């Protein structure tokens, strides 16, 4: 039994991550900001189609357009699967077209059949917040947090002891300040209810990797205007040299390698053929 994760695409143009908890071919999506067609194409491009052929559920961090594409409405009407949101997002989800028959509002924690325990952690983002997810299955502990303006103690507690940590590293502060974006937008992003900067993400990763349990670190949702993968990688590797071999930076339109969490394998054995 091997848990696998593949970020299919991550940017303000669309976010979706595939996670499978075992070898059954069933998988869940965290966010559906890419169209069903793009999700399928990315799974094929990543070499993950054999392990992710049957969608089991969709977990939505929140309902912004880059996390929920309306193209899923018809797909879900044809082939319904549960769509999990935090209770605070349920009304908005219905108004954004999530079919009522699919919607599963949840609070704090629940079991995904016998496959995984799921924990939902509210994180600050605009008015209604976003949701970080922790999945605990037989052989892996996986955390996913994106679109958050700050890292709370609750999130640090909830993400303790992960094998796979995926977290937003949205912007470089200097690039953000010097960008031609309007002042109100910079305030929205940097004001504690927007996105995590690279340095905020470094601080969170420092705390979350201190015990040495994390085998894969994935940076999510890098701004295309106000960040640069080379810059982010350099900062992380300077600040946290030990994480250099496990660092993967997600891209807007290409999937990451498929990362797997079987603990008996070496760190280098991470890409599925
Ligand atoms: Zn977003």
C-alpha–C-alpha distance, residues 123 and 117, integer Å = 19
HSE-up (13 A, CA, CB side) for residue 186: 13
Q: Which fold has domain 4-260?
A: Metallo-beta-lactamase; Chain A (3.60.15)
Ligand 1 centroid–CA 11 distance in Å is 7
pLDDT, tens digit (0-9, with 9 covering 90-100), for 78-107: 999 999 999 999 999 999 999 999 999 999
Cα 256 from Cα 265, distance rounded (Å): 19
Cα 135 to ligand 1 centre (Å): 21
Phi (first) and psi of residue 24, to 5 degrees: -80, -15
Nearest to 8 by CA among 42, 40, 35, 36: 42
DSSP string, 135-163: EEETTEEEEEE-S-SS--HHHHHHTTT-S
Q: Output the CA 114–ligand 1 centroid distance in Å.
A: 30
Q: Ligand 1 centroid vs 145 CA: distance in angstroms?
A: 11
Which protein residues have their CB within 5 A of the ion that is ligand 1? 66, 147
Q: What are the structure tokens assigned to 210, written together?
A: 């201190």
SS3 of 25, please? coil
pLDDT digits (tens, 9 = 90+) for 126-181: 999 999 999 999 989 999 999 999 999 999 999 999 999 999 999 999 999 999 99
- The domain ranges of the chain are 4-260
Residue 134 CA, ligand 1 centroid: distance in Å = 18
Q: Ligand 1 centre and the CA of 71: distance in Å?
A: 17
């Amino acid at each position: 039994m091997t848990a696998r994760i593949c970020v299919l695409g991550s940017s303000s143009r669309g976010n979706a991550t595939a996670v499978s908890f075992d070898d059954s071919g069933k998988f869940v999506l965290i966010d559906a900001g890419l169209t069903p067609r793009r999700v399928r194409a990315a799974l094929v491009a990543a070499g993950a189609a054999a392990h992710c052929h049957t969608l089991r559920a969709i977990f939505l961090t929140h309902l912004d357009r880059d996390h929920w594409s309306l193209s899923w409405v018809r797909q879900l009407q044809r082939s319904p699967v549960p769509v999990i949101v935090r209770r605070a997002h349920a009304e908005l989800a219905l108004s954004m077209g999530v079919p009522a028959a699919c919607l599963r509002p949840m609070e704090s924690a629940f079991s995904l059949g016998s496959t995984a325990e799921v924990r939902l952690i509210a994180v600050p983002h605009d008015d209604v917040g976003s949701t970080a997810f922790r999945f605990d299955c037989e052989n892996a502990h996986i955390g996913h947090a994106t679109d958050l303006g700050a890292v709370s103690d609750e999130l640090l507690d909830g993400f303790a002891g992960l094998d796979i940590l995926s977290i937003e590293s949205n912007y470089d502060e200097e690039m953000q300040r010097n960008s031609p974006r309007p002042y109100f937008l910079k305030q929205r992003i940097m004001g504690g209810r927007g996105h995590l900067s690279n340095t905020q993400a470094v601080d969170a990763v420092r705390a979350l990797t201190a015990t040495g349990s994390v085998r894969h670190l994935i940076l999510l949702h890098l701004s295309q205007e106000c960040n640069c993968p080379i810059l982010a990688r350099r900062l992380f590797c300077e600040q946290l040299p030990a994480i250099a071999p496990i660092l993967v930076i997600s891209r807007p339109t290409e999937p990451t390698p498929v990362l797997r969490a079987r603990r008996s394998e070496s760190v280098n054995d991470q890409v599925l053929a």
